Structures are given as structure tokens and as C-alpha cells.
Amino acid sequence: MDVRPSITTEKEPIACGCAPGTGKLRAEKVNLYYGHFRALKDVTLDIPACGITAIIGPSGCGKSSLLRQFNRMNDLIPSARTEGLMEFDGVDIFRRDVDVVELRKRVGMVFQKPNPFPMSIFDNVAYGPRRHGIRKKHVLEEIVEKSLRQAAIWDEVKDKLGQSGLSISGGQQQRVCIARVLAVEPEVILMDEPCSALDPIATLKIEDLMRTLACTYTIVIVTHNMQQAARVSDMTAFMMVDDDRSGTLVEYGPTTELFTNPRDKRTEDYITGRFG
Ligand SMILES: Nc1ncnc2c1ncn2[C@@H]1O[C@H](COP(=O)(O)OP(=O)(O)OP(=O)(O)O)[C@@H](O)[C@H]1O
């Protein structure tokens, strides 16, 4: 009996200006250690420019750890140590002369739980541009409006920009957080389970937004929700825990192929709900 959940991978193709097949992010034989524990083992993958890449797999297989590698967020964990090559636009991001602040501006991040700062909606979105030296009021106003429009939240908040970012719904907070990332004009947006704290309607709004943004930005999303990965992503990476408990990449490829014709038995078992 086929126990496969009904998963649709149909979506509007992304019409964008990126050259097909252009690589944006790359990991080559990456090992990540937390102290003596190896959380990622020999992970190699190329993430194309524009479009959405989903990272799926059972809990603890290293999805978030891999995501955090792309903008060196793991540097903030004192016990973390990386081996192997991580590239952004062909440049080794661990090279000595790489400015991590600049890297994180170009490779922004949205977290699981909406995390607006305890300040107004306007100031939340203006926060990054101000940190990068923009002071003129009319310039900040333009950036804030553009970013909130891009994040599909402008109409809902335009009359309350002075209100606290914490005073709106969770789904609205998450879109304000996405606007905050967009305000510094990143090229890549990393999303760590961005919908897990949201209701189904807010989730669909974020998914629609992601599809729109994928015309301009390279998006990498970690999700527990296979239907979501199938709905939104163009490429999917499936990870698992190996016998020694370290996270490995089992299969990576176009989402439609991975969900309809997986090459690896372990992928098939996972997407048909036989384990995990
Ligand atoms: N800061 C840390 N220090 C030590 N170990 C960590 C740290 N962060 C994660 N780990 C461990 O690394 C492994 C991978 O964790 P990670 O959060 O990347 O997995 P995940 O697939 O995203 O999990 P989940 O789906 O449950 O969020 C786990 O065994 C976890 O306990």
C-alpha cells in the first residue's frame, strides 16, 4: 500500500533575471563540530541563485546547523568549529579578510519565532539601514515603505508605523521581520522554520511571499513540514543522522524529482512517512 501523503509540487515557475544554474552558495566536504561532537559530516551541495531551496529531515539531523553555516552564525557558538569549504559567490566565507558583518548583511536570516525588537514597526525596519549609516529621514522612510511593501505587509501597518512591533499578530510580526531583513538589501535570505509559530492562514501568506521574493533573492528554508517544502521550493536537500549521530546529506535535487522519484531508499522512506 502506498502510504505517501498527498504532496503537490506544482507551483508557478520563477521568472527572474538570474542565469540558470548560477551557483550562489556552496558547501564542500563541510564538517561542523560542537566541541567533540560532529553535527555535520562531509556535506557538499551547491545552491543556485534565485529560487527556493528547502532543507528537510528528521529532528536533530543538522538542518539548522547547516543553514547557520551560510552566514557564519555558528561563529556565535563558542564550541563550534568548521572544516571544509563554504563559499558565497565563489568566495570562501571563512577567508581571513571576509567582513562577517557585511556577509550577514548580504546573507540575511529570518528565525523560527518572530522576533521584532521592542521598538516601533518603523524603527524595526529602519534598524539595519541606520546601523549601516543611513540617517536622512526621507531616505529611511522610502526604505521602510519599500521593504514593508515587498514583505506584503504595508497595507496592514501603514497607519500604525509608530506602534510597537510587538503589538501586531504573529504572522504580521514575521512579515515585519522579513521586511527588516529586506531593508538592508540582502542577496540571500536564510529562513529557519519561519512558519512553525504561525497559523495556517499566516503560513500561506508567508509561503506566497516567499515565492514572490524568490524572483529576486536566493532563499534557503529549513522546514519540518514536507508539504511546505514541496509547495514552495525548487530544490530540496534531504538530511539524516548517520550511525555515529552526525548529520549527513542523503539526497539533493529538484523538488519535483525528490518527491516523486527519490533516488535513495532512505529519502523514499522519509517522504512516505515510514520513519522520522
Ligand atoms: N549550540 C549547540 N551546541 C551543541 N550541540 C548543538 C548545538 N546546536 C545544535 N546541536 C546539536 O547538533 C545536532 C544538530 O542540531 P540542529 O539544530 O542543527 O538539527 P535540526 O535538524 O535543525 O533539528 P530540529 O529539526 O530539531 O530543529 C543535534 O544533535 C543538536 O543537539
With 70 as the cut, is the pLDDT of residue 16 above it? no
The response to whether residue 64 sits with its C-beta less than 6 Å from ligand 1 reads yes
With 60 as the cut, is the pLDDT of residue 182 above it? yes
Residue nearest to atom 7 of ligand 1 (CA): 34
CA of 247 to the centre of ligand 1 (A): 9
The structural domains of the chain, with segments of one domain joined by +, span 23-113+187-271
pLDDT attached to residue 8: 75
pLDDT attached to residue 197: 85
Checking 61-65 for CB contacts under 8 A at 24+ apart, the result is 61/239, 61/240, 61/241, 61/247, 61/248, 62/32, 62/239, 62/241, 62/246, 62/247, 62/248, 63/222, 63/239, 63/247, 64/192, 64/193, 64/222, 65/32, 65/39, 65/40, 65/247
pLDDT attached to residue 273: 86
Residue nearest to atom 29 of ligand 1 (CA): 60
CA of 128 to the centre of ligand 1 (A): 28
**Dihedral of the CA atoms 90, 91, 94, 96 (nearest 10)?**
160
The response to whether residue 172 sits with its C-beta less than 6 Å from ligand 1 reads no
C-alpha cell at 139: 531616505
The response to whether residue 186 sits with its C-beta less than 6 Å from ligand 1 reads no
Average model confidence (pLDDT) for the chain?
92
Supply the pTM of this predicted model.
0.92
Q: Residue 64 CA to chain centroid, in angstroms?
A: 9
With 60 as the cut, is the pLDDT of residue 1 above it? no
ipTM of the predicted assembly exceeds 0.95: yes
CB 226, CB 56: distance < 8 Å: yes
CB 14, CB 211: distance < 8 Å: yes
d(CA 233, CA 221): 8
pLDDT attached to residue 3: 43
pLDDT attached to residue 18: 57
Give the single-character DSSP code of 94: T
Instruction: Give 24-38 pLDDT, tens digit per residue.
Output: 999 999 999 999 999
pLDDT attached to residue 167: 96
Ligand 1 atom nearest residue 222's Cα: 22
Mean pLDDT of 262-267: 96
Mean pLDDT of 258-269: 96
Fold of the CATH domain 23-113+187-271: Rossmann fold (3.40.50)
Ligand 1 atom nearest residue 239's Cα: 21
Q: Are strands 218-222 and 51-56 parallel, antiparallel or unpaired?
A: parallel
The response to whether residue 194 sits with its C-beta less than 6 Å from ligand 1 reads no
Mean pLDDT of 4-26: 68
With 70 as the cut, is the pLDDT of residue 13 above it? no
Instruction: Give 117-154 pLDDT, tens digit per residue.
Output: 999 999 999 999 999 899 999 999 999 999 999 999 99
Ligand 1 atom nearest residue 66's Cα: 18
pLDDT classification of 2: cutoffs 50, 70, 90: very low
Instruction: Give 217-241 pLDDT, tens digit per residue.
Output: 999 999 999 999 999 999 999 999 9
d(CA 104, CA 189): 10
Q: Within a 10 A sphere around the Cβ of 276, how many other Cβ atoms?
A: 17
Q: How buried is 196 (Cβ within 10 angstroms: 0-12 exposed, 13-18 middle, 19+ buried)? A: middle
